[in-house]
Amino acid sequence: MSRKCFICDKKPVVGNSVSHSNRKTKRRWLPNLQKVQILVKGKKLKEYVCTKCLKAGKVTKALSRA
């Protein structure tokens, strides 16, 4: 999994996890990505898109015909 939003290029963020005794260990915050079928230039692609882009309507979902 690429862990990168196809629309806004949102990626994991790194920083420190700080305990009560102020010890610091590295940690990562991962974006909330969903694999969805979207239309890009008339073609149907399965890409990872963050939920903020989905809620904002920045992508056009491809309708699956079954």
Domains and CATH numbers, the chain: 1-66 (2.30.170.40)
Range 12-32 average pLDDT:
98
Q: Is the pLDDT of residue 8 over 90?
A: yes
**Tokens 């963020």 — which residue?**
13
Instruction: Determine the pLDDT at residue 2.
Output: 73
33 burial (CB, 10 Å; 0-12 / 13-18 / 19+) is buried
Q: What is the pLDDT of residues 35-66, one digit of tens each?
A: 999 999 999 999 999 999 999 999 999 887 65
CA distance 48 to 37: 9
